[in-house]
Amino acid sequence: MDIGVLLPTGTAQWGASDDPRELIALSRHAERSGFSSLFVNDSLISPRIEALTMLAALAPTTETVTLGTAALMPFLRRPIQVAQSLASIDLLSGGRLTVAVGAGFPGRFGRPFYKLSELPWERRFARLDETVMLWRALWDGADSFHREILRFDDIPRMTPPFRAGGPPIWLGGATPAALARTGRLYDGWLPYPPDPVDYASGLRDVREAAAGAGRAAEDITPALFVSVRIDADVESGRRALDAYARATYGMPLQELEKIQAVVAGSADDVLERLGRYVAAGVRHVVVRLAALDLNSQRDQLERIADLIPAVRAARDHAFTSAGS
């Protein structure tokens, strides 16, 4: 059972006097505190440290944690150049990179980004899948690539990643098409469904698609992206999450929780809710800390670190129950 943390790389999560270079110290503290992964997100919604730049800075300053994206939006970058960047980070980290990808969302969370990237919004999912296929081909030494959308000849020799075949690539998303594509093509699944019941049903669909493609369920890591706030009680936790949602997304919590997994309350409340996701099949939790300055982020990180043994025990219980 892996428990990771999403680093607060966006300015919406920084206080007025915060120094973004403190993110390195926060990352090292998370590693020492027992977190097994550090993730960064990728967006143009608000100013932030660019995702791959942040991971490159973490590669030599951390030792054992997985470094990941949640989620990288490949359409913001040229596909061959990003293959080189990802391979370089994988090399510098000694093979600790995991790449979760997404195609963006309608409205201000996606379509305008495609315009800025000079790419069509249409067929974005096919473009995403082909981009991932291109990366894997380049990491295997291909010098050409020909699919329906992406076509390249005479590609120079690519920097090889640390691991043969390159880092694992996960897909975010929970539509029926995304579940099928995850099962067929990807190494992991990183959604954020508000209800653990929906996670369980989605994971079943992913595994059915994997079986249909001749893949084993163990080939796909079931992960979860969830915003967490540990506070005195549910009411105070929800107030803090509401402030976080408004600062980060420009929407109240009651709207955000319709589309994303959020957990608030006392440590026991949070543990109970996370335990429901673990029982639904989650094996890698990526926690987003619902706090709006780096000191508060550190405080939330330490509170969640105290829950890591109990979350792992919940996983062991779920595994034993499934086996019996």
Tell me the HSE value of 216 on the side-chain side, using a 13 A CA sphere: 2
Overall domain count for the chain: 1
Residues forming beta bridges with residue 222, ordered by sequence position: 189
CA distances from residue 80 to 83, 127, 135, 155, 319 in whole angstroms, order as listed: 5, 13, 7, 9, 41
Write out pLDDT tens, residues 115-157.
889 999 999 999 999 999 999 999 999 999 999 999 999 999 9
* pLDDT band at 102; cut points 50, 70, 90: very high
Tell me the HSE value of 87 on the side-chain side, using a 13 A CA sphere: 23
Q: What is the mean pLDDT of residues 18-42?
A: 97
pLDDT at 108: 67
Tell me the HSE value of 51 on the side-chain side, using a 13 A CA sphere: 27
pLDDT at 321: 65
DSSP letter for each residue of 133-194: HHHHHHHTT-S-EE-SS-EE-SPPPPPPPSSTT-S-EEE---SHHHHHHHHHH-SEE----S
CA distances from residue 170 to 143, 183, 204, 221, 244 in whole angstroms, order as listed: 24, 10, 16, 8, 26
| Confidence check: pLDDT of 48 > 70 | yes
Write out pLDDT tens, residues 246-288.
999 889 999 999 999 999 999 999 999 999 999 999 999 999 9
Tell me the HSE value of 227 on the side-chain side, using a 13 A CA sphere: 24
| Confidence check: pLDDT of 46 > 90 | no
Residue 108: CATH number of its domain: 3.20.20.30
Contact 223, 285 (CB under 8 A): yes
pLDDT at 314: 84
Write out pLDDT tens, residues 206-226.
999 999 999 999 999 999 999
Tell me the HSE value of 268 on the side-chain side, using a 13 A CA sphere: 2
Return d(Cα 262, Cα 264) in angstroms, integer. 7
pLDDT at 185: 97
Contact 67, 93 (CB under 8 A): yes
Contact 161, 90 (CB under 8 A): yes
Write out pLDDT tens, residues 50-74.
999 999 999 999 999 999 999 999 9
**Backbone conformation region of residue 114, classed left if phi is above 0, alpha if psi is from -120 to 50, else beta:** alpha
Find the DSSP H helices in 186-293: 196-212, 234-249, 253-256, 267-279
**Looking at the chain, how many residues does it have?**
324
Write out pLDDT tens, residues 280-324.
999 999 999 999 999 999 999 999 999 999 999 988 877 666 664
Q: Can you state the angle between helices 176-185 and 124-139, rounded to 10 degrees?
A: 10
Structure tokens at 196: 């653990």
- Domain range for 259 is 2-323
pLDDT at 109: 65
* pLDDT band at 94; cut points 50, 70, 90: very high
Q: Is 112 exposed, middle or buried (0-12, 13-18, 19+ CB in 10 A)?
A: middle
